[in-house]
Structures are given as C-alpha cells and as structure tokens.
Structure 1
C-alpha cells in the first residue's frame, strides 16, 4: 500500500477513499475523517489509519522507525467513539458523535498543537 508523501495528500486520499490506500476499505472511517479534517490543527497532521484506529502523526514520511506516535487517537467503529492517549493505556473519554470524539482529541493535544496544560483547546 503506497504511503502519501505529505499530510495534504494523505487527507485527500482518506476523504476520497482512494482504493488501495490507508482506510479505503473501512466503512466506519468517513464520519471521523470528515470531522477531523474540519479541525485546522488536525488537518496539519498526517492522518494514519491503522488497526481500526485513526491516529495523527506530526510529520509525513519518511518516518523514524517507527514514526513518532505521541498524540491522542480514536478507535473507530460505531458510536460512542473511544479516544485514547498514545500508548492505548489511558482512555480520555467517549464521543457520542464523530464531532465529539474529535473535540476530545483536540482538547488533549499538547500545547504546541492547540491544547493547553489543562487539556483545553486554545
């Protein structure tokens, strides 16, 4: 499966469900991808669909091995959507809609990406 060369291309492929790219086969992805793309801070990150989740990577390929995976992510499926801290050890909350789940991700981003020390969007 080809990897998109940059975040903009990755978002385009994800939203268009371009065949043979990340997430094209996952019918639970479109509402989350659309909601995530509507958030400018997330739109600047590389969307990474893997193992039933949507993760956000700070940079585009080529990555360190493995890529730096330190941001909150969403477990896909039917609502409610689980939002977890990197490492999958801490559940940050549940979103009853795709927009709610994306709001939780944004609220728990590090300060340099849009959240604050208390975990609120700036």
Structure 2
C-alpha cells in the first residue's frame, strides 16, 4: 500500500477514509486532527495505534520519539515511544490527543 507523500495528504486520506490507504480509529483521528500541533505531524495508524512522525515515512527511517495513542474503546492509553512510559489512560479520544500534545518533546513539532 503506497504511503501518502506528505503530511496534508496523509491527514486527508485518513479523514476521508480513502480506499487502499492506511486506516485507523476514526474518532481518534478526528480528535488528533483537531489539535494543531498534531495536525502538523504525519499520522501513522498501524496495529491499533496512532503514531505521529515528524515527516512522511522514508526508507531512511523516521524520528520515532513522539508519544502515541492506543486506539479502540476506552480507556485510550498514551505512551512514550516504544511503550517506554505510560503517560496516561483517558476516557475520550480528545483527552488522548491533548495528552499527546502535552508530552511532545522539544515544545512540539519544531
């Protein structure tokens, strides 16, 4: 399955549920998209989680130090990269997205 070439395209494909592209939990995706800090990151749904990358995936690898959301039904859990630290369990996708934003390293996407 081809990956979106850039951040805006990746979000558009997720929000529109474009056939043949990565899909994720629609409620979590909408909540993440509502956060400007997350909207500026590349969304990467895979295996029941929503990760965030600083740029489109490439064969050279990606910076993978950002927190992510475990999707599904409540509670939604947010971890640091590699499941190193549980940042919290929350009741709504909106709270999960806000928790990711609160724990972005280096003041966000910069």
- Give the TM-score, by structure 1 length: 0.84
1:91 pairs with one of 80, 86, 89: 86
**2:67 alignment counterpart:** 72
Which of these residues, 50, 53, 71, is aligned with residue 57 of structure 1? 53
Displacement after TM superposition at 1:63 (Å): 4.7
Tell me how far apart the structure 2 counterparts of residues 77 and 11 of structure 1 sit (CA, whole Å): 19
Distance 1:104 1:94 in 2: 9
Q: RMSD in angstroms over aligned alpha carbons? A: 1.3
Q: Aligned residues, how many? A: 109
* CA drift at 1:8: 0.2
- Tell me: higher relative CO, structure 1 or 2? Use CA pairs within 8 A at least 6 residues apart: 2
- Bigger fraction of residues in helix: 2
Q: Cα deviations across residues 71-110 of structure 1 (Å, max 9, x unaligned)? A: 0000011011010000112110012001111111000001
Runs of 4+ in 1 over 4 A off after TM superposition: none
Matched, 1:38 2:43: no
- Gaps of at least 5 residues in structure 2 are none
Partner of 2:107: 112
Extract unaligned runs of 5+ from structure 1. Answer: 115-122
Counterpart Cα distance in 1 of 2:31 and 2:97: 7
The structure with the largest alpha-carbon Rg is 1
TM-score normalised according to structure 2 size: 0.93
SS at match of 2:81: coil
